């Protein structure tokens, strides 16, 4: 195993986040510690108000913790500058939001190109990679459609393609099925499962235990405190085998 | 992110919201169009001035006006002719002018009557189209002969049913004295001093008798070398200083260049004030753009959040909004230049003068309008760039 595979993707220790609201200090996360390895499919489950959105913002480098250490692929996030955080988001994380968060004036392809533009890739390479990502989610035929011309499921698939286009080590999905009916929701989740099987690390945030069941590992957050849940659906052997696959895939990618 | 990519993105965004873009560029558009139209108008009027001044005489002409103040109030014709001894003076035409009443049949008109010498034709470049000029014998003999301008001829003869172009040989009275018209002057149009065609020219000696004046009121001079004009003016002034015994208020020497300068300085002052007004209107236009951009930033908070979450750095967002502002103001400027050209063309048609838009003004207007975009776009762009992605994403 090489060094990159040994370093956990996410290593959080004693993360605390508190806000000052109306001159009163509210602590949303209490000493959260979390470790996610490459190839994991982690679900973070919690009811609304539990602090899961705050946790997601911190995982996604959109927000900084008040205290504690957060290492993303071995790089310390806490205390980084705004520009550095932006760069990390661009390189390491693919976001899938509940409300899709596509730009309505751009076509599906242009939406997928957007993170690549900010990475500074040439027009030709951007196009190729964006097209490739759209093919992967089965939207090869609808590349030049705008948001308004796509169904909810298709919009979310464009969002997944956009997240995949940068080839990030981690997909961070915030309630990806929240705005979809259960059938299209399952389709989207099925796609994510498939991606995970191909070695993609996924962190899924949801309030729905049913959705969380698809994940290989589930943690529950309640009132800002994180607790691990015992593995139910998959045997540890299977997990181990898949992990092996994932690692190999990464090695191939790095080569 | 590359510059061209940022530029493309901004242009796309500007074009995707056409009505807003048009409305926000309106201020700059009108401002720039005003600048262009005003400058064109200013140019037109200074061209007009140049034309009128040149109609006062060719650039080698010079005139001395006797104001008649002090102890020595006038110069005789002979004294005036002595100015011809000054070096570089080519011709001297003393003139005494008065207003008289010319009468033919039952028609009477009030007209400027100038007493001239034979040199007038050459010095003033004012020949006859029919008949002969006033010659030296006419002056020596105090002959009652007259040259008539085309406008006066028309005034005088048309009502009497006579052909104005056949004026030569007709007999008219001026202030009761009988005169014979010996020549019809060429048409010269009007200048700053009024119509050149509404006048009657008679021998200077006759004029002094008819109007009971002595001396001359104006001396027209020509120089042989235009480049030595300043020196000649000084020399003429020296002679006059002597003649009027040091009374500088008794006369004034005017050359064409000086007259042009005086009139143009008035023009320039006016133009400068117009430009100030135009600059203020450009600033107001800039504030308009700032307003729209601020609204746009608020409206697009979510978009900014998405872009930031996908890896747009602060400077990328700043650049995007700044380029958008510059696009709006620059486009406004460009359209304003077009509108200004059209306006100056229409103004030229209405005012019947030649309008002219100097190319450096066009550049200046364009650069200034783009600059307005940068200055007034900075605040909204900075606001957009400073948004935190967490807050921006949550915004609806």
Predicted confidence (pLDDT) per residue in B36-85, tens digit:
888 888 888 888 877 777 766 667 788 888 887 666 677 888 888 888 88
Tell me the pLDDT of chain B (396 aa) as tens digits: 567 888 888 888 888 888 888 888 888 898 889 888 888 888 888 888 777 777 666 677 888 888 876 666 778 888 888 888 888 888 888 999 888 999 988 888 999 899 998 888 888 888 888 889 988 898 888 889 999 998 888 888 888 888 888 888 889 999 989 999 999 988 877 665 667 788 899 999 998 888 888 888 888 888 888 778 888 888 888 888 888 887 778 888 887 777 777 777 888 888 888 878 878 888 888 888 889 889 988 988 999 999 999 989 998 999 999 999 999 999 999 999 999 999 988 988 887 877 788 888 889 888 988 898 899 999 999 999 998 888 888 876
Q: State the nearest Cα–Cα gap between A176 and chain B, in angstroms.
A: 15
What pLDDT sits at residue A250? Answer: 42
Model's pTM, two decimal places? 0.70
d(CA B361, CA B188) in angstroms, rounded, equals: 35
d(CA A54, CA A225) in angstroms, rounded, equals: 12
pLDDT bracket for residue A49 (50, 70, 90)? confident
Contact A90 B311 (CB under 8 A): yes
Reduced to 3 states (helix: H, G, I; strand: E, B; else coil), residue A139 is coil
Q: Which residues contact B247 (CB under 8 A, 6 or more apart)?
A: B69, B70, B71, B72
Q: State the nearest Cα–Cα gap between A238 and chain B, in angstroms.
A: 34
What pLDDT sits at residue B69? Answer: 67
Q: Domains of chain A, with CATH numbers?
A: 3-254 (3.40.50.300)
A91 contact residues in B (CB cutoff 8 A): 311
* Closest C-alpha to B125, from B70, B191, B32: B191
d(CA A62, CA A205) in angstroms, rounded, equals: 15
* Closest C-alpha to A206, from A96, A112, A102, A103: A96
Q: Are residues A74 and A7 in contact, defined by beta-carbon separation less than 8 angstroms?
A: yes
Q: State the nearest Cα–Cα gap between A70 and chain B, in angstroms.
A: 18
Contact B316 A118 (CB under 8 A): yes
Contact A114 B316 (CB under 8 A): no
Top residue of B1, B2, B304, B311 to mutate, by most chain A CBs within 10 Å, is: B311
Q: Are residues B222 and B91 in contact, defined by beta-carbon separation less than 8 angstroms?
A: yes
Give whole-number Cα distances, A96 to A37, A189, B244, B379, B396, in Å. Answer: 19, 12, 100, 32, 18
B311 contact residues in A (CB cutoff 8 A): 86-87, 89-91, 115, 118-119, 166
């Amino acid at each position: 195993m090489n060094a990159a595979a040994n370093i956990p993707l996410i290593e959080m220790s004693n993360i605390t986040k508190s806000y000052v609201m109306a001159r009163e200090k509210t602590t949303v996360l209490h000493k959260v510690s979390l470790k996610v390895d490459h190839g994991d499919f982690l679900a973070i489950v919690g009811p609304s108000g539990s602090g899961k959105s705050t946790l997601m913002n911190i995982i996604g480098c959109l927000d900084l913790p008040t205290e504690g250490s957060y290492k993303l692929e071995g790089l310390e996030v806490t205390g980084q500058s705004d520009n550095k955080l932006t760069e990390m988001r661009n390189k390491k994380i693919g976001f899938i939001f509940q409300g899709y968060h596509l730009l309505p004036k751009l076509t599906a392809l242009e939406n997928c190109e957007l993170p690549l533009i900010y990475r500074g890739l040439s027009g030709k390479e951007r196009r190729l990679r964006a097209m490739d990502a759209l093919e992967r989610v089965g939207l090869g035929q609808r590349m030049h459609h705008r948001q308004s011309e796509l169904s909810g499921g298709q919009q979310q698939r464009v969002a997944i393609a956009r997240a995949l286009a940068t080839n990030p080590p981690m997909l961070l999905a915030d309630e990806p099925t929240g705005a979809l009916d259960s059938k299209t929701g399952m389709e989207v989740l099925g796609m994510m499962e498939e991606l995970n099987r191909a070695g993609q690390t996924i962190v899924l945030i949801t309030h729905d235990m049913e959705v969380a069941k698809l994940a290989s590992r589930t943690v529950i957050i309640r009132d800002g405190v994180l607790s691990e849940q015992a593995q139910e659906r998959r045997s540890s052997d299977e997990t181990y085998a898949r992990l092996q696959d994932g690692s190999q895939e990464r090695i191939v990618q790095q080569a | 992110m590359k510059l061209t990519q940022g530029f493309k993105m901004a242009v796309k965004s500007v074009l995707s919201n056409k009505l807003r873009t048009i409305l926000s560029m309106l201020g700059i558009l009108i401002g720039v169009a005003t600048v262009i139209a005003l400058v064109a108008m200013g140019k037109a009027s200074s061209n007009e001035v140049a034309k009128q001044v040149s109609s006062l005489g060719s650039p080698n002409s010079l005139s001395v006006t006797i104001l008649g103040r002090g102890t020595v109030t006038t110069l005789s014709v002979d004294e005036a002719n002595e100015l011809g001894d000054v070096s570089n003076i080519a011709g001297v035409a003393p003139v005494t002018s008065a207003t008289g009443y010319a009468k033919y049949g039952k028609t009477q008109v009030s007209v400027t009557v100038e007493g001239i010498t034979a040199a007038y034709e050459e010095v003033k470049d004012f020949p006859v189209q029919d008949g002969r000029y006033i010659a030296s014998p006419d002056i020596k003999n105090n002959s009652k002969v007259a040259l008539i301008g085309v406008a006066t001829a028309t005034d005088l003869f048309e009502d009497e049913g006579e052909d104005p172009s056949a004026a030569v040989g007709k007999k008219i009275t001026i202030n009761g004295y009988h005169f014979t018209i010996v020549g019809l002057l060429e048409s010269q149009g009007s200048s700053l001093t009024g119509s050149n065609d509404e006048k009657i020219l008679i021998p200077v000696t006759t004029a002094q008798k008819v109007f009971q004046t002595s001396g001359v009121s104006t001396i027209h001079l020509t120089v042989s070398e235009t480049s030595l004009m300043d020196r000649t003016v000084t020399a003429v002034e020296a002679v006059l200083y002597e003649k009027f015994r040091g009374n500088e208020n008794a006369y004034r020497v005017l050359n064409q260049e000086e007259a042009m300068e005086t009139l143009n300085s008035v023009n320039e002052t006016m133009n400068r004030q117009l430009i100030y007004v135009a600059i203020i209107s450009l600033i107001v236009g800039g504030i308009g753009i700032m307003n729209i951009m601020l609204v746009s930033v608020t409206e697009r908070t979510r978009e900014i959040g998405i872009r930031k979450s996908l890896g747009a750095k602060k400077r990328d967002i700043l650049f995007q909004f700044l380029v958008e502002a510059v696009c709006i103001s620059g486009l406004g400027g460009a359209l304003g230049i077009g509108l200004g050209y059209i306006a100056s063309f229409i103004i030229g048609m209405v005012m019947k003068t030649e309008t002219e838009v100097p190319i450096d003004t066009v550049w200046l207007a364009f650069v200034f309008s783009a600059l307005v975009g940068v200055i007034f776009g900075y605040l909204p762009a900075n606001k957009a760039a400073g948004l935190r992605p967490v807050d921006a994403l949550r915004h609806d």
